[in-house]
């Protein structure tokens, strides 16, 4: 009986911890959310950000400021995960950036898809 109680306490602690440190828990974004994020990126983000996040989508040419190259590792050091997740959900104007970066209000209900999108963008930063 005591052991069960202890397990519950540990489980609760682990859950609480992952809730308070989304950046750490995101290392294991669930596969379903990751799939959704891939599909979303291809349909919603690629027109401006390009299929590989280089800022070279077909709709990017006329944008000023231009979407940046997500492979720029120096930029990654200047922004935290919260910034990336905020701009994805609430758009550029919510973080003092260009309003050409649209909000995705449906994603505010899907934090793990937002985390998976953020992780995808972070991964570009680890690639040349
Ligand atoms: C209509 C074009 C457009 C679409 C569609 C779009 N973006 Fe953007 N995005 C932009 C522009 C332009 C910026 C640059 C804003 C600035 O620098 O002021 C931007 C900036 C960003 C940034 C922040 C970069 C920085 O400089 O801090 C992230 C992250 C981002 N977009 C992710 C996404 C994701 C993920 C999607 C798809 C869900 C998406 N964007 C869809 C145009 C777009």
pLDDT in tens, 29-65: 789 999 999 999 999 999 999 999 999 999 999 999 9
For atom 38 of ligand 1, the residue with the nearest CA is: 45
pLDDT at res. 15: 53
Please say whether the beta carbons of 49 and 126 come within 8 A.
no
Residues of the chain with confidence (pLDDT) below 70: 1-28
Which of 49, 81, 102 has the most ligand 1 atoms within 8 A of CB, as the residue to mutate?
A: 49
pLDDT at res. 20: 46
Residue 83 tokens, joined: 């910034």
Please say whether the beta carbons of 114 and 45 come within 8 A.
no
Q: Which ligand 1 atom lies nearest to the CA of residue 40? A: 38
**Domain, as residue range, for 71:** 2-124
Neighbours of 49 (CB within 10 A): 23
In this structure, what CATH number is given to the domain that contains residue 51?
1.10.760
Please say whether the beta carbons of 43 and 120 come within 8 A.
no
The domain tally of the chain equals: 1
């Amino acid at each position: 009986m005591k052991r069960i109680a202890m397990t519950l306490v540990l489980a609760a602690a682990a859950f609480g911890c992952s809730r308070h440190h989304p950046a750490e828990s995101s290392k294991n974004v669930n596969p379903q959310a990751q799939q959704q994020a891939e599909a979303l990126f291809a349909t919603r983000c690629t027109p401006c950000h390009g299929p590989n996040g280089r800022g070279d989508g077909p709709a990017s040419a006329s944008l000023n400021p231009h979407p940046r190259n997500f492979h720029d590792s120096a930029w990654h050091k200047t922004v935290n995960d919260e910034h990336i997740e905020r701009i994805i959900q609430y758009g550029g104007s919510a973080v003092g950036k260009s309003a050409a970066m649209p909000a995705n209000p449906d994603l505010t209900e899907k934090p793990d898809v937002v985390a998976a999108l953020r992780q995808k963008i972070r991964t570009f930063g680890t690639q040349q």
